[in-house]
Amino acid sequence: MRQCIESVLGQTYTNFEYIILDNGSTNGSAEILQEYAQRDRRIKLIRIETNIIAWRFQEVAFQASGAYLSCLDSDDWWDPVYLESLLRFTEENRLDIAGTGCVFHIENSETENKRAISQDLILDNAQFSLAYPYYHAFFRTFWGRLTRMEIIKSFPQWPDIIYGLDTIGAFYNLRLSKRMGIQGSALYHYRIHGDSSSYQYDPKRFAADVYLYNDAIDFLKPYGVISRQNQEFLYAVYSNAIRDTMGVIHNSGLTTEEKIHEYAQIAIHPITRMAYRCREEYCRQSRQILLSLVCAEGLSLRGDDEDLRRAIQTLLPRCGIAVTAANLPLFLGEELQAEFLADDRDAVVKTLLKLLPDIKNPQLYDLGTTIQRLGVDHWLLFQVDDMDFLRTYPDLYLLLWDNKNMEALDRMTGFLLEDKVKQGAETFLKLYIDLAARENQESAFVFGKIRLACLYCYQRCWDKAEAAVLELEDLGLKDIEEVKKLRTELEEQNRMESAIE
């Protein structure tokens, strides 16, 4: 804090009023502030006894007497020429708002990053939407800027969000401005703390991300249709913001279930879904991070997996439909992980069928249902969840998956004629009948129906057999020899049951 205060008192421009807000400090800061106030008459102290999490800049502005306001956080500092340089830049170019670049200092590290433009940028308000991506980063905060006081004082009621109020206020000021500029320098020094409140979990944090995106849309709307450049830029900014939010959630003390719930809320939000369709690199990176976090937490999930399924189904629309907490370890295994995370359903299905013989406990993963869900877009295959059929006829399944229907029908006919259908026979025949109907193969359809009725008789499933024979008879096939035999067998069975009764 001393470095901060002394950087103000040491400015080359000296005609200023220095208002310092003590926001309910309890760590000895008040004594230090009193010490400086006694040394320099330009300092005016304001103390709030109860800490206000998001105090308002314009509340200080109403107590100021100057023509401009510039804000400085208590752990940051200014270059000695900060005020002189920005004031000259503002008045020479008749600006309402003037900004400068920033040097970021990472605490406990010698690392520095600079955010600055290569040359001065000056814009009239008619140009604010055209250059939006170029100045946005410089107008996300109140610090690092000089603003005309009347603009600061006109701010309306603040929204109820936990962070991002700087950005809301800054862009409201810009709405009221006729002319703004950014100086090609970096005169503000910002200290980055790992324990900053910006990195602490709050259940309202994601709501703030959404609010900031919508406020940006509201800022641009008066300029007409939002350009593709600006829209994609906003998606990138939003994706970067929720990436930070994900990091906060990940590092929080939330339970696995709570973290997955938070991730799911982010994933399914309409803005997230639109942003993740964007080609911007920030959007792709954000999506990949969210997917990785969901999967990592999902492997530890032991309770209800509804949020897990919602998140993964949204992020992986082709493969995610089949995911549960039970089978997630299978999808993230060495053989399937790359194809799964790439949302390559064709590759996942084909690899999964190859793996079936080596999976010792398919019930653990509910593999029949898993494969059935992957086949949701194949109306023939969506009915197939029979593990005996899947293990025995993977090649037939893949022919149908690749829409090689007639080749599959011919091969299935051959199996039936050669009496090779043993495992998964009911599923085989039902699939054969539906396939024949789809391809308008009448003889194959009738053949399959008769074989299915025979199977039911063999299995002594008499109700199913009766229904199958009735259907054949309704098709006008009661005089066919095979159908007559089936009817005779059913009647004999009925007589036997009556005699027993």
Number of neighbouring beta carbons within 10 Å of residue 405: 16
Residue 299 in tokens: 């492997």
Question: Which among 117, 168, 116 is positioned nearest to 140, based on CA atoms?
Answer: 168
DSSP state of 143: B
Q: Are strands 179-192 and 77-78 parallel, antiparallel or unpaired?
A: antiparallel
Report pLDDT for 164. Answer: 87
Report pLDDT for 53. Answer: 59
Residue 291 in tokens: 């997917």
Question: Which among 52, 231, 248, 60 is positioned nearest to 142, based on CA atoms?
Answer: 60
Give the pLDDT band of residue 64 (cuts 50, 70, 90): confident
Average the pLDDT over each of 102-111, 404-413, 436-445 and give the range with the smallest value: 102-111
Q: What does residue 180 show for φ and ψ, rounded to 5 degrees?
A: -140, 165
Q: Measured between alpha carbons, how far is residue 126 from residues 130, 151, 179, 379 in Å?
A: 8, 18, 9, 55
Report pLDDT for 359. Answer: 85
- Rounded to the nearest 10 degrees, the angle between the axes of helix 2-9 and helix 29-39 is 20
Q: What does residue 189 show for φ and ψ, rounded to 5 degrees?
A: -115, 120
Burial call 207-217: b when 16+ CB within 10 Å, e when fewer: ebbbbbbebbe
pLDDT by residue (tens digit) across 281-320? 999 999 999 999 999 999 999 888 999 999 999 999 999 9
Question: Which among 263, 320, 319 is positioned nearest to 293, based on CA atoms?
Answer: 263
Q: Angle 338-343-346 (CA atoms, 0-180°, nearest 5)?
A: 90
Residue found by looking up tokens 């956080």 in the block: 73
Report pLDDT for 54. Answer: 55
> For residues 478 and 293, what is the distance between their CA atoms, to the nearest angstrom?
62
3-state secondary structure of 324: coil
Q: Mean per-residue pLDDT for 327-348?
A: 96
Burial zone of 152 (CB within 10 Å; 0-12 exposed, 13-18 middle, 19+ buried): buried
Domain residue spans in the chain?
Answer: 1-200
Residue 317 in tokens: 């629309």
Number of neighbouring beta carbons within 10 Å of residue 162: 18
Strand partners of residue 78: 188
Question: Which among 151, 156, 155 is positioned nearest to 180, based on CA atoms?
Answer: 151
Residue type at 295 in one-letter notation: C
The structural architecture, per CATH, of the domain 1-200 is: Alpha-Beta Complex (3.90)
Q: Is the pLDDT of residue 36 over 90?
A: yes
Q: Mean per-residue pLDDT for 270-277?
A: 97
Residue type at 328 in one-letter notation: L
Residue found by looking up tokens 């309770």 in the block: 303
> For residues 446 and 437, what is the distance between their CA atoms, to the nearest angstrom?
10
Report pLDDT for 199. Answer: 65
Residue found by looking up tokens 């193969």 in the block: 441
Burial zone of 277 (CB within 10 Å; 0-12 exposed, 13-18 middle, 19+ buried): exposed
Residue 14 half-sphere exposure, CB side, CA atoms within 13 Å? 4
- Whole-model pTM? 0.86
pLDDT by residue (tens digit) across 181-219? 999 999 999 998 765 555 678 999 999 999 999 999 999
Report pLDDT for 58. Answer: 61
pLDDT by residue (tens digit) across 361-404? 888 889 999 999 999 989 899 989 999 999 999 999 999 999 99
Give the pLDDT band of residue 23 (cuts 50, 70, 90): confident
Burial call 298-330: b when 16+ CB within 10 Å, e when fewer: beebeeebebbbbbbbbbbebbbbbbbbebbeb
Q: Is the pLDDT of residue 129 over 90?
A: yes
Report pLDDT for 180. Answer: 96
203 Cβ contact partners less than 8 Å away, ≥ 6 residues apart:
none
Average the pLDDT over each of 43-57, 145-159, 280-294, 326-340 and give the range with the smallest value: 43-57
Strand partners of residue 121: 182
pLDDT by residue (tens digit) across 435-492? 999 999 999 999 999 999 999 999 999 999 999 999 999 999 989 999 999 999 999 9
Q: Angle 481-484-490 (CA atoms, 0-180°, nearest 5)?
A: 145
Q: Does the CA dihedral 291-296-298-299 come out positive or negative?
A: positive
- Residue count of the chain, please give it: 501
Give the pLDDT band of residue 56 (cuts 50, 70, 90): low
pLDDT by residue (tens digit) across 220-259? 999 999 999 999 999 999 999 999 999 999 999 999 999 9
Q: Mean per-residue pLDDT for 53-62?
A: 64
Residue found by looking up tokens 């938070």 in the block: 262
Give the pLDDT band of residue 501 (cuts 50, 70, 90): low
Average the pLDDT over each of 1-10, 40-49, 53-62 and give the range with the smallest value: 53-62
Locate all alpha helices (DSSP H) within 141-227, ordered by sequence. Answer: 149-153, 165-175, 205-220
Residue 370 half-sphere exposure, CB side, CA atoms within 13 Å? 24
Report pLDDT for 82. Answer: 98
pLDDT by residue (tens digit) across 137-178? 888 888 899 999 988 887 767 788 888 888 998 899 999 999
Report pLDDT for 432. Answer: 97
- Is 151:64 a contact under the CB 8 Å cutoff? no
